[in-house]
A and B are shown apart, each in its own frame.
Chain A
């Protein structure tokens, strides 16, 4: 039998054993996310579609699945969802500018030989696709940070119902600081694990530092890592602020009605 089927089956069994119903839902969300990603890619092959807008829609659907399907719809997940979308929009503009200026779209010199049988003039905008790749690689981490901030903030609010908006915001920030390091680390290792072959290639062919830094594949990878880190850091104040705003606002509204 196929390696992938086996690994997927093992993961599914483990998730159910350890997570029960929620585990099954987590596994199913992975599957749904795969389908969403695949559909997005298929839509991107249409030259008339804008990859940036497709990415935005895909990110909304993916965070919808990650937040509402796994964690159910409630005030915590709704603010997490709103902050995810705001962060993604800001990040998309930034990354689109970066990929345009640094010219890291498409394929590098090292990859192009294997692709010589393909026609490269396929009419889709690779700059925008490059931006979309970077966003997609962090969307998992961004929704994770969003929910990890809004959920404990809600607990703090419930324990101290009279807390001021500013104090609530600061407590959100300090929760965020704790996860910042581990989350950037997670992405960092994932990227380097994926590109280990590339690193060995550079070392083996003894590229000079100048050649490595300026090559398209390496700079694209570094820029992805940095942009992912920026995204993770950005969502912390955004999610804290929005959540503090909404929590305090609902408290004030309730007072009026009483």
Chain B
């Protein structure tokens, strides 16, 4: 107990103020997502009773065994004209749950209410979707709290830069959709510059180290993009299966290339900042360090991070396809077909990102040395 009291005394007013603000935001947002029914136009119902009606075994044409369940649900309407009334719903779900799920007491669902009903009978309806906003908000807060607890000030800065980048990305897409004559790749390239400048300045502040990292990031990203583009052009995109690219409303090649830039940017930035801070660190420890020594140490550091960085991207991209791959396999699709259908774009992204990472190592090294030499010349 004493430890906590002492900790509390050590805090400055600014810190206490900040914690109070964060606490208030947390309380307000959690209260809001739990009481925001009136903001939705679609009717929302909260499950208050479920009964299992029947269970049947089913075997599909590929000999997969699954169970189908029928569930009767009584739920209370939370908004609209019928607020407070009970509604009867039925839910069919399978034990695998690829597109359906069992509902439990307390779950909130978007429903549609059947209209052709006589007076004084129970309302019936169908389930449309699940209200997930409160889960997203709670997990967002757990994320924010973990980052703040572990990272303190740096944690706060990384949250701010994530938020700034998200807003910027959303704005860039708005610009793209409203001015349809501008290419998405151009818009993403411009945003790339902004993303880089904002994120690196926020993390590192205004100094030569940051400038070197910014230059290295931009060079690395665009050179790797150029290489990928050249390869795609030379092979006339043989081996890329765009058919399975989801959510297509726009030219797929464009969306793919733009995703490629944005996707590899984070990793390239990470490599660039690691290179520049370690090389500037060596220089600051010993102002007379020869360029040759900087080069050897820089390359050593680069070798160390190369493998793990490419792995980060690789797993971030590929893992998203796991459910689809399983679905294909269970529907008796051949291995080669399944892989090329589902993984070609992800693999291309991961490989292109990897090329960006590896290229940024020497680029980051030489831009840092360039900035150090300029600093030395000034002295």
> Could you list which residues of chain A lie within 8 angstroms of chain B, going by C-beta atoms?
1-8, 10-11, 14-15, 18-20, 22-23, 25-26, 29-30, 33-34, 37-38, 41-42, 44-45, 47, 62, 66, 70-71, 98, 101-107, 109-112, 114-115, 118-127, 129-130, 132-134, 136-141, 143-144, 147-148, 173, 176-178, 180-201, 203-205, 210, 213-216, 219, 222-223, 226-230, 233-234, 236-237
Q: Which has the most chain B C-beta neighbours within 10 Å: A119, A127, A185, A213?
A: A185
Inter-subunit contact B259/A3 (CB<8 Å): no
Q: How far is the CA of A182 from the CA of B199 in the complex (A)?
A: 9
Inter-subunit contact B97/A106 (CB<8 Å): yes
Q: Is the interface of A mostly helix, strand, loop or mixed?
A: helix
Q: Which residues of B contact A192 (CB under 8 A)?
A: 166, 169, 262-263
Q: A132 with B147: in contact, given A25-B307, A199-B169 (CB under 8 Å)? A: no
Contact of B96 among A126, A203, A222 (CB under 8 A): A126
For B243, the closest partner residue in chain A by CB is: A114
Q: Which residues of B contact A148 (CB under 8 A)?
A: 308
The minimal Cβ–Cβ distance linking B361 to chain A, given in whole angstroms, is 6
Chain B 47-101 interface residues, beta-carbon cutoff 8 Å to A:
58, 60-62, 64-66, 68, 94-99, 101
Known: A33-B314, A122-B60, A201-B249. 10 other contacts (CB 8 A): A14-B359, A37-B318, A122-B96, A125-B96, A127-B97, A137-B319, A181-B203, A188-B266, A219-B132, A237-B150
Q: How far is the CA of A70 from the CA of B62 in the complex (A)?
A: 41
Q: Which residues of B contact A210 (CB under 8 A)?
A: 39-40, 133
8 sampled A-B residue pairs with Cβ under 8 A? A3-B238, A22-B307, A129-B322, A137-B319, A148-B308, A189-B165, A204-B177, A216-B130
Inter-subunit contact A190/B317 (CB<8 Å): yes
Q: A222 with B101: in contact, given A123-B96, A189-B263, A193-B349 (CB under 8 Å)? A: no
The answer, yes or no, to whether B372 is at the interface (CB within 8 Å) is: no
Q: How far is the CA of A194 from the CA of B246 in the complex (A)?
A: 10
The minimal Cβ–Cβ distance linking A4 to chain B, given in whole angstroms, is 5
The minimal Cβ–Cβ distance linking A64 to chain B, given in whole angstroms, is 13
Q: How far is the CA of A18 from the CA of B295 in the complex (A)?
A: 12
The answer, yes or no, to whether B35 is at the interface (CB within 8 Å) is: no
Q: A226 with B139: in contact, given A124-B96, A130-B323, A190-B317 (CB under 8 Å)? A: yes
The minimal Cβ–Cβ distance linking B294 to chain A, given in whole angstroms, is 16
Inter-subunit contact B318/A196 (CB<8 Å): no
Q: Which has the most chain B C-beta neighbours within 10 Å: A22, A26, A191, A223?
A: A26
Contact of B142 among A29, A226, A237 (CB under 8 A): A226
> Could you list which residues of chain B lie within 8 angstroms of chain A, going by C-beta atoms?
39-40, 58, 60-62, 64-66, 68, 94-99, 101, 107, 110, 129-133, 135-136, 139-140, 142-143, 146-147, 149-155, 157-158, 161-162, 165-166, 169-170, 173-174, 176-177, 195, 199, 203, 227-228, 231-232, 234-235, 237-240, 244-250, 252, 255, 258-267, 269-270, 273-274, 299, 302-304, 306-320, 322-323, 325-331, 339, 344, 346-349, 351-355, 358-359, 361-362
Q: Which residues of B contact A120 (CB under 8 A)?
A: 94, 96, 98-99, 327
Q: A119 with B331: in contact, given A7-B228, A133-B323 (CB under 8 Å)? A: yes
Q: Which has the most chain B C-beta neighbours within 10 Å: A114, A130, A233?
A: A233
Q: A190 with B263: in contact, given A20-B303, A23-B303, A140-B316 (CB under 8 Å)? A: yes
Inter-subunit contact B320/A194 (CB<8 Å): yes
The minimal Cβ–Cβ distance linking B355 to chain A, given in whole angstroms, is 5
Inter-subunit contact B110/A214 (CB<8 Å): yes
Inter-subunit contact B255/A200 (CB<8 Å): yes
Q: How far is the CA of A237 from the CA of B155 in the complex (A)?
A: 13
Contact of A183 among B68, B270, B307 (CB under 8 A): B270
Inter-subunit contact B239/A2 (CB<8 Å): yes
For B262, the closest partner residue in chain A by CB is: A193
Contact of A15 among B130, B227, B306 (CB under 8 A): B306
Q: Which residues of B contact A190 (CB under 8 A)?
A: 263-264, 266-267, 312-313, 316-317, 353
Contact of B98 among A1, A126, A189, A199 (CB under 8 A): A126
Inter-subunit contact B147/A200 (CB<8 Å): no
Contact of A177 among B130, B154, B302 (CB under 8 A): B154
Q: A201 with B174: in contact, given A3-B235, A34-B318 (CB under 8 Å)? A: no
Inter-subunit contact B158/A236 (CB<8 Å): no
Q: Which has the most chain B C-beta neighbours within 10 Å: A104, A137, A183, A214?
A: A214
Q: Which residues of B contact A30 (CB under 8 A)?
A: 307, 310-311, 314, 354
For A98, the closest partner residue in chain B by CB is: B139
For A196, the closest partner residue in chain B by CB is: B259
Inter-subunit contact B306/A215 (CB<8 Å): no
Q: Which residues of B contact A215 (CB under 8 A)?
A: 129, 132
Q: How far is the CA of A105 from the CA of B165 in the complex (A)?
A: 27
